[in-house]
Structure 1
Amino acid sequence: MNNKDIAIQILELVGGNENVQSVTHCATRLRIIVNDKDKIDIKGVENIDKVKGSFFNSGQYQVILGTGLVNKVYDEFIPLIDGSRRNISEDSTVKQKITFQRAIRIFGDVFVPIIPVLVATGLFMGLRGLFTQEAVLGVIGLTPDDIPQQFLMFTQILTDTAFAFLPALVAWSTFRIFGGTPILGIVLGLMLVSSVLPNAYEVGQQTAKPLVFLGFIKVVGYQGSVLPAFVTGILGSKIELFLRKRIPDSLDLILTPFLTLLTGLTLALFIIGPIFHEVEIGVLHGVEFLLNLPLGIGGLIYGSFGQLLGIFGIHHVLNFLEISMLGQDGWNYLNPIGTCGNIAQAGAVLAVAMKSTSPKMKQIAYPSALSATLGITEPAVFGVTLRLVKPFIMSMIGGGVGGFLASIFKLRASGMALTGIPGTLLYLNEQLPLYILVNLVAFGVSFGLTWTIGYQKNQELG
């Protein structure tokens, strides 16, 4: 069955063209908003060749296809429907009832486009750490003092730029999602890190002092901050839309950008920034408190239950936390623990694949296990473990044990969005052996428990 045939069958089984309100996709899933859920033949969709499962989340019917394939099926799906329905417009999002899950989805939509840049930055950091290690340099007869200063400056540009201008990236994406003009978002975000303002890192190190307005409002740059730029982007885009509806067309080009930037920057520097920067720091301190609980308890809790975030559709909030951690001190403390949960899913699904006598089960489970080792767990979770229940519980136990060890060893990543085997690139330093160890433990515990007590070889998917 080719990709076009898959797209045609999915469209027919979700109720046809007239039942599709809009469609988009993420890394692994085709996301369809339908007019009537009762018209969907869920079992029929899940029996389509190469479909690994499906579920409802945040008002969307999500069909799991896997990385690479989902893009191809999406490209075949779009010509079959009205092209104007390929994405959810801001107007339709606003008109729908705002729920917690929908808000989280919008939150995720803002940060997902930024992640590739931060992935690349994390890899640059890892490689820089590798090539500047004394042990590695010693192999070729060099020491850290032999590295040219120009080379270090070049690598610093690669590793520091994205986080130095992080508010510009966040504000750009927020304007884009909320219907504003993205270039205004970029400029407004750049204003938050203007060289005229005291650098946030220098203020934090007490080598610079904040500007003080009206005797009590402290103003600094917001290098590495996420939440102030996010809120500024929301309000800035709303201000722009408000102005465009009221300013005459003849004056729109002049007045709308002028008033949007002026009002947005004033609110950002004197109200939004001071308030939400403190909120952001408070949230980070709360998460770090959990992760730093004694005896590895924080790692045990997050490693066990962090996998549930994806099921409830609120895992995108982790993007904000990870970006904020990297922006504040350059390290990601969630990644090593969360990775153990992903690898534990791979262990559980591989045990199912090897033990099962069902060809259909093996067809789904083996690729899902491989996908999970590469950091993509949706096929494993929604296609196998969650539907069988017990393997998912075994994976939670395995993830908890691995997370416990990661917390004990105080592992931390140099970037984000890479887990499993690709995630080793974020630990190209003295942590690499420990990173491999904790993941082998998570995999082994999950595999062993699923093989012995978590799955019967003749058990079928529900």
Structure 2
Amino acid sequence: MSSYKESVGQIIDAIGGEENINAVTHCVTRLRFALKDEGKVDKEKLDEIDLVKGSFSTNGQFQVVIGQGTVNKVYNELVAQTGVGEASKDDVKKASESNMNPLQRAIKTLADIFIPILPAIVTAGLLLGINNILTGSGIFFEDQSLIEVYPAWADIANIINLIANTAFTFLPALIGWSAVKRFGGSPLLGIVLGLILVHPDLLNAWAYGEAKAAGEVETWNILGLTVEKIGYQGQVLPVLFASYLLAKIEVFLTKRVPEGIQLLVVAPVALLITGFASFIAIGPIMFAAGNLITDGVVSIFENFAALGGLLYGGLYGALVITGMHHTFLAVDLQLIGSIGGTFLWPMLALSNIAQGSAALTMGLLTKNEKQKGLSYTSAVSAYLGVTEPAMFGVNLRYRYPFIAAMISSGIGGLFISMQGVRASTIGVGGLPGFLVIDRGFWAFIIGMVIAFVLPIILTFVFSNFKKEK
């Protein structure tokens, strides 16, 4: 008999019974439910179960934190008790979509596209961070970089930079792979589409402005239509829309072309139509739209840096609750591709640090051993870039730690925005975030101190105020 039988029975009862479960799977630490009605969940009863370290709802899924090494055993017992068949993460995602409104579905689509490529982006970011430390002036020596003082390190830094830049040079291929897969097409065709958009024979997108001003942009003449021969390096929107078109054409043809000649017809026709459409219409239109978004965001922070930093830094935690933070990942990548860096991502890092410090403080304040353990482990997780356990398992439960974290990250965001802090890429959104800062390095370090210390002070103050009331 499973040693978790009683606790699993209590979990099933607390989430509304087995009849309330559409599908369930698990990740490294959590059970992930697609429930028919989340209103039937008794959170107080659920939180009292010894096995449960926290719970929260996000993206149409109700997630119960169990812990690494235990969750798989609990999941097996849950499947045995409920009779619900084992499900994959994709099964649960599909089942959970019925709980979402159109905006949530759109945000989830972006998340499904960008989250799978995050490991490559973050890895590239960390390597670029190492390169920044080696090549950035004023970090170790006044007005000089490390490789200027020690030239023997120059080629090492150059190779590191080449390895790190590959993910961003071929970003459309990564997005194409993930997007076409999400839209129901062949991921391999998505990779090919992305590579088409950054082919070496095309004018590099980063050189387009200069070439346009000089009148040196090469063109194609397609039946009398003049089409600029440019690539879309670092661009997000062109490959997203092109991937959607490619996937839909592929699915359409696959259903109608006899199986014996699909290899000769489906992929060539789908790529040809999408390729022509990309260079003639999708690319130019989305390139212009991406530049408008970039110019708009840059303009806000150039003219209202303090306000922009205060609002984005302070409200980022609220965006995580709604899932809308995934939308800004695309904006970050667009900024990196257009202006060579992002001033939004550093505020994300400060928000994560602030949530971690608020959770850490709750671990010091609470006398509940179970809650203390959850607070400490979730704080470490937040400091390393994953805030959901800290936010949903600790800070939102007591409310005032979450408010303390938002105030602190808002003040930190205000400070680093006024100082013009910028990251060269996306890195680990927490304490290691300093590695990718290429402008305002020491200002960001001060921002990190604010985000680390101020939530601790405010959470202590708010807790005393709550006791007095």
TM superposition score normalised by structure 2: 0.85
Question: 1:18-40 CA deviation, whole Å, 9 max, x = no partner?
Answer: 65433456786543212344554
Per-residue deviation at 1:111? 0.4
More deviation, 279-288/363-372: 363-372
The correspondence of residues 43-82 of structure 1 with structure 2, limited to 5 A, is 43-49=44-50, 51-65=52-66, 81-82=84-85
Query: What's the counterpart of residue 442 of structure 1?
Result: 451
Q: 1:179 aligns with which of 163, 179, 184?
A: 184
Matched, 1:204 2:175: no
- Which amino acid letter does the alignment assign opposite residue 255 of structure 1? V
SS for the counterpart of 2:202 is coil
The correspondence of residues 204-283 of structure 1 with structure 2, limited to 5 A, is 204-206=209-211, 208-211=216-219, 213=221, 214=224, 217-283=227-293
SS for the counterpart of 2:32 is strand
Query: What's the counterpart of residue 32 of structure 2?
Result: 31
Query: What's the counterpart of residue 411 of structure 1?
Result: 421
| 1:155–1:226 Cα change, 3 Å | same
Unaligned runs of 5+ in 1: none
Identity rate, percent: 34
More deviation, 447-456/147-156: 147-156
Distance in 1 (CA, whole Å) between partners of 2:3 and 2:152 is: 52
- Which amino acid letter does the alignment assign opposite residue 179 of structure 1? G
User: Are the aligned partners of 2:4 and 2:77 in contact in 1 as well (CA < 8 Å)?
Assistant: no
More deviation, 430-439/276-285: 430-439
User: Are the aligned partners of 2:22 and 2:95 in contact in 1 as well (CA < 8 Å)?
Assistant: no
More deviation, 353-362/159-168: 353-362
Query: What's the counterpart of residue 118 of structure 2?
Result: 115
Query: What's the counterpart of residue 371 of structure 1?
Result: 381
The correspondence of residues 282-301 of structure 1 with structure 2, limited to 5 A, is 282-294=292-304, 296-301=306-311
Question: 1:391-429 CA deviation, whole Å, 9 max, x = no partner?
Answer: 2222211111101111122111232141222223223x6
Query: What's the counterpart of residue 383 of structure 1?
Result: 393
Per-residue deviation at 1:114? 0.9
Query: What's the counterpart of residue 453 of structure 1?
Result: 462
Question: 1:145-180 CA deviation, whole Å, 9 max, x = no partner?
Answer: 834775455234212211111111101101111211
Would you say how many aligned residue pairs link Structure 1 and Structure 2?
Answer: 457
User: Are the aligned partners of 2:135 and 2:157 in contact in 1 as well (CA < 8 Å)?
Assistant: no
SS for the counterpart of 2:122 is helix
| 1:320–1:4 Cα change, 3 Å | farther
Distance in 2 (CA, whole Å) between partners of 1:140 and 1:212 is: 44
| 1:268–1:47 Cα change, 3 Å | farther
SS for the counterpart of 1:307 is helix
| 1:308–1:270 Cα change, 3 Å | same
Query: What's the counterpart of residue 101 of structure 1?
Result: 104
Query: What's the counterpart of residue 357 of structure 2?
Result: 347
More deviation, 117-126/447-456: 447-456
Matched, 1:313 2:323: yes
Per-residue deviation at 1:456? 5.8
- Which amino acid letter does the alignment assign opposite residue 332 of structure 1? T
SS for the counterpart of 1:306 is helix
Distance in 2 (CA, whole Å) between partners of 1:367 and 1:20 is: 29
Query: What's the counterpart of residue 23 of structure 2?
Result: 22
Report the RMSD for the aligned CA atoms in angstroms: 3.5
Per-residue deviation at 1:79? 6.8
Per-residue deviation at 1:117? 0.8
User: Are the aligned partners of 2:34 and 2:96 in contact in 1 as well (CA < 8 Å)?
Assistant: no
SS for the counterpart of 1:422 is helix
More deviation, 407-416/20-29: 20-29
Per-residue deviation at 1:280? 1.4
Per-residue deviation at 1:47? 3.2
Distance in 2 (CA, whole Å) between partners of 1:109 and 1:204 is: 32
Per-residue deviation at 1:369? 2.4
SS for the counterpart of 2:228 is strand
Per-residue deviation at 1:93? 8.2
User: Are the aligned partners of 1:424 and 1:432 in contact in 2 as well (CA < 8 Å)?
Assistant: yes
Distance in 2 (CA, whole Å) between partners of 1:436 and 1:83 is: 46
More deviation, 337-346/152-161: 152-161
- Which amino acid letter does the alignment assign opposite residue 119 of structure 1? V
Q: 1:195 aligns with which of 197, 200, 203?
A: 200
- Which amino acid letter does the alignment assign opposite residue 250 of structure 2? E
| 1:141–1:125 Cα change, 3 Å | closer
User: Are the aligned partners of 1:351 and 1:450 in contact in 2 as well (CA < 8 Å)?
Assistant: yes
SS for the counterpart of 1:316 is helix
TM superposition score normalised by structure 1: 0.86
Distance in 2 (CA, whole Å) between partners of 1:78 and 1:253 is: 44
Question: 1:254-312 CA deviation, whole Å, 9 max, x = no partner?
Answer: 11111111111122111111111111122222222233334622111111112111111
User: Are the aligned partners of 2:55 and 2:62 in contact in 1 as well (CA < 8 Å)?
Assistant: yes
SS for the counterpart of 1:225 is coil
User: Are the aligned partners of 1:291 and 1:407 in contact in 2 as well (CA < 8 Å)?
Assistant: yes
User: Are the aligned partners of 2:26 and 2:75 in contact in 1 as well (CA < 8 Å)?
Assistant: no
User: Are the aligned partners of 2:235 and 2:337 in contact in 1 as well (CA < 8 Å)?
Assistant: yes
More deviation, 318-327/17-26: 17-26
Distance in 1 (CA, whole Å) between partners of 2:55 and 2:210 is: 49
